[in-house]
Structure 1
Amino acid sequence: MDNAAPAKPHPEPRSAYKVFRPIATRWSDNDVYGHVNNVVYYSWFDTAVNAYLIEQGVLDIHGGSTIGLVVETQCNYFASLAFPQIVHAGIRVAKLGTSSVRYEVGIFGDGELTAAKGHFIHVYVDQITRKPVALPADLKKILETLV
């Protein structure tokens, strides 16, 4: 039995991510401690990935037959961010399955290293039955560029 502790998460450079999306912080993002509250980062993950897929023409949130449901998410925090600030969400795909994708997102402030990084896993399902389906070919082609 291996009793070694898991590797401690560490910040990553911008070069570790494939595409970036700017996101403006909002007044309501700050908490009473004067920095962006932890739950906001998960919203940024969703915003960055879904906006990118919509812009690429592979996600139709109103009429598409396939949707991605989040089944797992996680985030590590390294530096505080606060309103008013523009952050940049870096996106990459760590694992591309038959019906699922592990997206990894790095959140950057003004520096070269992530202020936070995390992941979420989408399982793609039929919008009506909610049963897993194979990734549509056009979606898979775009996701392969992010691996």
Structure 2
Amino acid sequence: MAREARAPRPTRSDFVAWRVATTRWADDDVYGHMNNARYFELIDTAVNAHLAEATGTDIRRLPAIGVVAEVSCRYFREVGYPAPIDLGLAVERLGTSSVTYRIGIFQGDPDGSGAEAAAEGRFVHVYVDNEDPARPSTPIPDAIRAAVAPLAV
């Protein structure tokens, strides 16, 4: 069976929008690097904070909301406390009712060890009707589409 080619390790130039996160003592696990669960919290926060800021609204109150359909992370090197983390965002796919994001996690000097991603997350939002208890999928709201379209690469 042929082995699948892996996507190359992302660099800062692969991302469009940026956020900074502060690492905390409690983020590190017993091995001295950031716990895996923390990566997923950062990925989720980076996407939703961008949406809230770019739309200028409480995205939880829109008629259609994005729910997570898929999330994954590729790890390349350790990160941890006490250095800040740069989170790069890009949109890989913008569909009718879903958005696929890529989130680069960088730590260190942008011209040195922090030029390549320490990890890369993939995050899929599917938009559902926020008013129907059955939560059927629905088109992405115009405000969200306007906020994410500039992130497309």
Segments of structure 2 that go 5 or more residues without pairing to the other structure are: 109-113
Task: Point out 4+ residue stretches in structure 1 off by more than 4 angstroms.
Answer: none
Q: Which residue of 2 aligns with 1:40?
A: 38
Alignment of 1:52-91 (within 5 A): 52-57=50-55, 60-91=58-89
Contact map agreement 1:11 1:114 (CA 8 A) in 2: yes
Equivalence for 2:107 = 109
Q: Aligned partners of 1:41, 1:13: CA distance in 2, in Å?
A: 18
Aligned-residue Cα RMSD (Å) equals 1.4
SS at match of 1:71: strand
Q: Percent same amino acid at aligned positions?
A: 41
- Cα shift at 1:62: 4.4
**Distance in structure 2 (CA, Å) of the matches to 1:58 and 1:5:** 45
Change (3 A) 1:108 1:37: same
Closer, same or farther: CA 120–62 of 1 in aligned 2, 3 Å: closer
Checking the alignment, whether the CA contact within 8 Å between 1:69 and 1:122 is kept in structure 2 is: yes
Q: TM-score, normalised by structure 1?
A: 0.92
Partner residue of 1:135?
A: 140
Give the TM-score taking structure 2 as reference length.
Answer: 0.89
CA deviations 1:54-97 (Å, max 9, x no partner) are 01126524422221111111111011111111001100000011
Q: Indicate conservation of the 8 Å contact 1:58/1:139, yes or no.
A: no
